[in-house]
Copies of this chain bind each other. A is one copy, B any other.
């Protein structure tokens, strides 16, 4: 193909690259074009990718004319037996050499973490090599720098696997919905916490018991903090917000609360009131301020109506629910993790990047602006509140008057239990978070309120 290809003129708009030379079996039009892939890391995802490429290569070649070859693989140890059917000479411990190798057409990064992944990805992009990465941490913290490097070099930076694993989400958001007036995106994007909450909800077990089971099944790490406290979902929320709203949102912009304080009784109350508890990554466009879009982005447990499509997403599955001004409600559902599902997303990106490389162009996430991030105090939502109170006349009146003082209006209330077990369960109308917090603060100082139990946002009601 090399001999046929002339440089493409630079066209109008961002992210358009020059035609690059690729090897072809012959110079005839319909022969296969070989794409040499440099793979960084060969763990769960990298190993599954090697297998998937071997299994599917013939069919992909027949359909697309691309002959994908994993030409070099950078690993920590070349001695380890990975059980892969691949020539051992492709392995090296020198990741930089893989990126620099002029015979490598496309780089796939499955190392994870910030460094050296960031440096390797930047070097690859700057030398005109498309990059596919599954690295949410890297994108959520250094995305803007990477997107810019890709646009400057006119090459693809694709990352379908970084959010919600095998689910086609990034491509639909980047392409199908780029013109859609998206109002809100809500996702179950952490399988570990969804498994824990599903077990609590379906089997009535405690948080601790469900976590222990998730750990024994390998769904949760020994230190589960990143999952259960919402950090993992927060990184994904930042990436979703960036792509959905075209604004540079980083992990540090995301407000987050985890699920470790959710009790079996919260889940019971939710169920009796017709709700299911899910850990949601939510991002919304809430307005404009001085010409800049105002974006809310947060992760927290939420009560959603049992009839909501997200409510039936069980076990370790992920799903992302998009509220479009024209498209209406959309939901994309599937496996959010696991070597082979994640490798599937990487593989789709790899074929896309290879196709683009052969054609001498690249996709783009378009122009990104810096949005204003809405403080959590400004959130307007309905709230579930659970107060442990002394069981005596007049308590409800006192409590209700404090709600009223803070302009938090009550939609429903019921008393649960008697005596030492007495609780008041409230669902509020739409209220501002700062007012709800002020209400709780004042309630906490009352003698008749023994303890503020849980506070959970109620979302997804139509």
List chain A positions with a Cβ less than 8 A from chain B: 1, 4-14, 16, 19, 22, 24, 29-31, 33, 48, 52, 55-56, 59-60, 62-66, 160, 166-168, 171-172, 175-181, 246, 309, 312, 317, 324, 326-335, 338, 340-341, 343-345, 347-348, 350-352, 355, 358-361, 366-367, 369
Contacts and interface: CB of A to CB of B under 8 A. Distances in A.
Main secondary structure of the interface of A (DSSP, over half): mixed
Contact of A175 (B1, B59, B352): B352
Contacts of A343: 326
A327 B331 contact: no
Contacts of A331: 331-334
Nearest to A62: B367
Nearest to A11: B359
A351 to B, nearest CB: 5
A12 B4 contact: yes
A145 B66 CA distance: 24
A160 B179 CA distance: 14
Given A52-B326, A333-B333, A334-B328, A64 B13 contact: yes
A366 B355 CA distance: 11
Contacts of A12: 1, 4, 22, 24, 29, 31, 33, 65, 358
Contacts of A59: 179, 181
Contact of A178 (B10, B64, B160, B334): B64
A317 B179 CA distance: 22
A24 to B, nearest CB: 6
B333 A330 contact: yes
B178 A171 contact: no
A309 B315 CA distance: 12
